[in-house]
Amino acid sequence: MERRLQTLFPSAVQITEVDVARSLNRRLLRQIEIIRAATPNGRPDSWSSSVYTTLNTADQLHQKAEFSDLHRIILDEAMRFADALMINHRDFPLRVMDCWFNIYGPKDGQEIHNHPNNIISGSYYVKASPGCSGIMFHSARADSMLLPPMTAVNSFNQSVAELAVHEGMMVIFRSSLKHSVRPSPTDEERISVSFNLSM
């Protein structure tokens, strides 16, 4: 008998190492500190940790001149991701809808969530020390199916996968893909710029 396993509905995640990260991060960190000093924490009441975020308070960072280089990189990388997924961004151009930063302190994390009403989402890591929390992706199957005992974890049965992150790394994925951040195990701040794109 012949048999084969076929993968259906894979979840694509694009990882980019930004080649100008060192100089870009220096400029971004200066602006982030300026904005942080002048902007109230936009953290929604539903969030369980005390993470500082400009979501809801300063979430149009891509429109600021100081973030123009990052904006260009986001658009370029989002278009490459769209090409891989055969998303027609030439007739229906992608545009950044919102862009904000998150600062995670010790033990700060982020609940499981996705980004409704968008097409592509992502994060760029401005500050991420060794051993910091990564980004965890969650299978859509995990919420609705009974999980049997497993002898080992592989790509066919896993319900969660953590991607280690570091400074200068950009992660892009479909906005529907659920993700989270486990509580930070380090004392150093972890700073990321997150973004959503639509058409």
Domains located in the chain, CATH noted = 13-142+156-198 (2.60.120.620)
Strand partners of residue 54 = none
Q: Give the relative orientation of helices 68-84 and 21-38 as an angle to the nearest 10 degrees.
A: 120
pLDDT digits (tens, 9 = 90+) for 38-74: 999 999 988 888 999 999 999 999 999 999 999 999 9
The pTM of this model reads 0.95
Provide Rg for the chain, Cα atoms: 18
Spatial distance between the Cα atoms of 38 and 22, rounded to a whole number of angstroms: 25
Residue 157 has pLDDT above 90, yes or no: no
pLDDT digits (tens, 9 = 90+) for 117-126: 999 999 999 9
Can you give the pLDDT at residue 39? 97
- Residue 97 φ/ψ, nearest 5 degrees: -90, -40
- Residue 61 φ/ψ, nearest 5 degrees: -60, -30
For residue 88, give both structure tokens.
């027609």
Read off the pLDDT band of 141 (50, 70, 90): confident
- Residue 29 φ/ψ, nearest 5 degrees: -60, -40
- Asked if residue 184 lies in contact with residue 78, where contact means CB atoms within 8 angstroms, the answer is no
Q: Which helix (H) or strand (E) holds 172?
A: strand 169-174
